Structure 1
Amino acid sequence: MATIAKLCELGVLEDLDPGLDPAELPTRQLYGTVEFVAWLNDVLPELVVEDDPLSDDLSPMEQVGALFSEYLLGETFSTDRRFKKLNATPQHHIWELKTPDVRIFGWVPAKDCFICCYGDLKNAVVTFNKYGLYMARTKLVRDKMDLDEPKCVESREFKDVIST
């Protein structure tokens, strides 16, 4: 079994840095799987959102960068929709980071730490009802990962997974 730091050393996970200013100190941790980082670098920059009155003025890439910065810098997430526990039976303990146009699926291995596993445009997730697919795929990645137990925080309470 390995720690998150060891999995980063081995290249299984990558520390996600949205380009914080040197004076900004993160209060939370954010990681991505190799597959997620490839999506972040190769797919996300090319994504565009068709004219949608509910869409943000920012591109999907800019939205994700802002969301990651806000998460890392310790902004309050427990009372809004940017961070959401997904429901499933049986309980899979999968969480979702959200922007107006992007959904990012992952899990919380420890309080104030999030591992990003999959990302997609909101419209694709909702239109094709991909929530179950992404929850199952995220759980499978977590189960296969050689991460120390417990591999995730098994709580539905925001106070247990993120500081406010």
Structure 2
Amino acid sequence: MATIEELYTLGKIEKYVPDLGPDQHIERVLYLSLELVEWINTTLSGMPRRAGRDLTPLEQVDNIFSNYISGKKMVGEYQKLMPQKYAVWELKTADIRIFGWFVRQRVFIATHADTATNIKGQKLYRKYIKKVRDYRKRINLTNPKYTTKGLGDVL
């Protein structure tokens, strides 16, 4: 068994480190599964900006990750998915849905993502909850692997 920090040191997960402005500081930690890193580098990076949007999907994800890490207030971007006992969370941008969990307060691991259109149109929420739970079981993370606390307690 390993801590989340040890898994990072071993190269089993990545830490997202944004370019923060001079007035921004790291307030929270965001880890990414290697599967999600691959999806970002191959699929997300090639998605064009949709009509009526100011940002590409990749820019949206970068912004929300940076906002999370810099400690900005997150209202409406996070949602704990049902059933809540599994403590799987969804991080939302206009075009992308990112799934993962809080290991503890201010430490989130994002494991999977897809477009909002796919998630909603194909009703994939249960599939992604299962994917997160399966990933959480596979990694050799020390207990407790996640917290079931509410958003006010984990941010």
Task: Give your verdict on TM over 0.5.
Answer: yes
Deviation track 1:84-132 (CA, whole Å, cap 9, x = no partner) reads: 111127x211001110111000000010111010011100110011110
Mapped pair 1:145 → 2:139: yes
SS at match of 1:125: helix
RMSD after superposition: 1.5
Stretches of structure 1 that go unaligned for 5 or more consecutive residues are none
Unaligned runs of 5+ in 2: none
Task: Using the TM superposition, give the Cα deviation of residue 20 of structure 1 relative to its aligned residue in structure 2, in angstroms.
Answer: 2.2
The match for 2:72 is 75
Does residue 158 of the first structure (1) align with residue 151 of the second (2)?
Answer: yes
Separation (CA, whole Å) in 2 of partners of 1:119 and 1:11: 20
Q: Does residue 20 of structure 1 match 2:20?
A: yes
8 Å Cα contact 2:7-2:13 kept in structure 1: yes
Report the identity percentage: 34
TM-score of the pair, normalised by structure 1: 0.88
Deviates more, 1:3-12 or 1:20-29: 20-29
Report whether the alignment pairs 1:37 with 2:37: yes
Q: Relative to 1, partners in 2 of residues 1:146 and 1:68: Cα closer, same or farther, differing over 3 Å?
A: same
TM-score by length of 2: 0.93
Q: State how far apart, in whole Å, the 2-side matches of 1:19 and 1:45 are.
A: 17
Deviations 1:8-47 (A, max 9, x none): 1111111012322466321000000110111111111112
- Could you list the runs of 4 or more consecutive aligned residues of structure 1 that deviate by over 4 angstroms after TM superposition? none
Number of aligned residue pairs: 155
2:104 paired residue among 110, 114, 124: 110
Deviations 1:35-72 (A, max 9, x none): 01111111111123553x5xx31000000011011000
